[in-house]
A = this chain, B = another copy of it.
Amino acid sequence: MADQRARRRSVAARVAVALCVLGAVISIASAVLPPQGSGYDGHAPDQINGIAWQDVAPGRHPLRIWQHHCLPVPDGASADELRIVYSQPRACWPRPQLAKGVIAPELGHLPAMPYPEDNPPTAEKEELGRHLFFDPRLSRSEQLACASCHDADLGWSDGRRVPFGHDRRTGDRNSMSLLNAGYQEALLWDGRADSLEEQALLALEDPREMNADRHEAAARIGRITGYAGRFEAAFGDPHVSPERIAKALATFVRSITSRTSDFDRFLDDQPDRLNDDEIRGLHTFRTKARCMNCHSGALMSDQAFHNLGLHFFGRTHEDRGRYNVTGEPEDVGAFRTPSLRDVTERGPWMHNGLFTSLEAVLNLYNAGGAHPQPREHVADHPLFPETSRRLQPLRLTQAELDEIIAFLESISTRPRRIGPPEDRPE
């Protein structure tokens, strides 16, 4: 009887345990397995978090839905699905495709402008810099100003393959845009200037640019009565020196920054600011096109120097680039990665203005860069450089190339117009 009761109890216990296990399995499975038609079939269940793709209204910021889990990119993702993935916090964005060893900070907003300790900004100094920026009397011929090669109408560059300067002599390298130049760690295509102050004096004295002597230029500006009050307001006394001119110019240039782009607004919780092409372009930019190998961070530049194979080593337009500054063989033919912000506004592109369309630029990258063969007379030259191994053929389709350009348009804004002051000091 007791035996029978014990057996009954044992059976009941086993049934209870079995039911518990079954219940646990069911509840774990319902928590972990994808719901019907989630669009995530084929992905690991723990990436899903039980939310069906179609439950998310396009344009609704998914942050409010997914607090703790990152949604990955489904196979063959639609633009809407990509928009949802990229509307997550940036830590949840798919990892960029990078060459081995490359560290790429995430894309993002421009930070506050950094100012050097020995040249703090004031409104008076910036305004003085603006006057000097447009004043041709800084140049030897008194005909060329900083603004001659850096014009807001032309993306703060000059729209030409290569600029012309004193006696209309042409340079070898494309005039660099001043947009966001204040964020750059090194300036000019070869990074030979460490600060905007230094860059201003280099342009002033370059024989193919303004061709001035810094002391003569300062003396000439010092003789213009209308400048005395402006120097006093900016520096405390009316003394004019090359250093003060450089500091005022650099302060003005630090005010030249990009407007808020559609991409910036996209980052600010406005997922519809990127259209379908642009969002697909963003994804291709990060992944298949490998752009973030060099164009990363808020500036979309790693501020480093790379050789794309456009050095023309041993040919008419040879340019050894960064090597001329460092003397390091690995720097032959390397040029600074330009920021991509506002990139559509300031062609032609590349250090020599080689390409007049972004399509051409992308074709170069799609081919894995240029790989020129040395001509006979430099065949064994120890400095003949190898094209950066970060570049490799990409096999991007025409649609993907177009979408990347659409994305580049979404990070571009038309520069604020800052023209010459009405009152030129006399």
Contact = CB atoms under 8 A, between A and B. Distances in A.
Given A141-B141, A144-B143, A153-B160, A136 B168 contact: yes
A369 to B, nearest CB: 23
A168 B153 contact: no
Given A153-B160, A153-B348, A170 B356 contact: no
A349 to B, nearest CB: 12
Q: How many subunits of this chain does the assembly comprise?
A: 2
Contacts of A160: 151, 153-154
Contacts of A135: 168
A164 B353 CA distance: 23
Interface string A126-165: 0000000011100001111101100101100011110010
Contacts of A419: 161
Interface string A403-426: 000000000001001011000000
A168 B414 contact: no
A237 interface: no
A242 B303 CA distance: 51
A134 B414 contact: no
Contact of A166 (B143, B417, B420): B143
A167 interface: yes
A409 to B, nearest CB: 12
Nearest to A151: B160
Nearest to A161: B153
A47 interface: no
A144 B145 CA distance: 13
Nearest to A353: B153
Contact of A136 (B147, B153, B159, B167): B167
Nearest to A415: B356
A317 to B, nearest CB: 12
Size bracket of the A interface: 20 to 34
A349 B17 CA distance: 82
Nearest to A414: B356
Given A153-B159, A154-B159, A160-B153, A168 B134 contact: yes
A201 B159 CA distance: 26
A357 interface: yes
Contacts of A134: 168
Contacts of A164: 148
A210 to B, nearest CB: 11
Nearest to A158: B159
A124 B143 CA distance: 32
Contacts of A148: 164, 168
Interface in A296-323: none
A164 B135 CA distance: 12
A181 B147 CA distance: 28
A353 B136 CA distance: 23
A134 B170 CA distance: 11
A167 B142 contact: yes
A347 to B, nearest CB: 9
Contacts of A420: 168, 170
A356 B153 CA distance: 8
A151 B163 CA distance: 11
A414 B357 contact: yes
6 contacts: A141-B142, A148-B168, A153-B161, A153-B353, A153-B356, A159-B159
Interface of A: 134-136, 141-145, 147-148, 151, 153-154, 158-161, 164, 166-168, 170, 348, 353, 356-357, 414, 417, 419-420
Given A141-B142, A158-B159, 14 more contacts: A141-B141, A143-B143, A143-B166, A145-B168, A147-B168, A148-B164, A148-B168, A151-B159, A151-B160, A153-B353, A153-B356, A154-B154, A168-B420, A170-B420
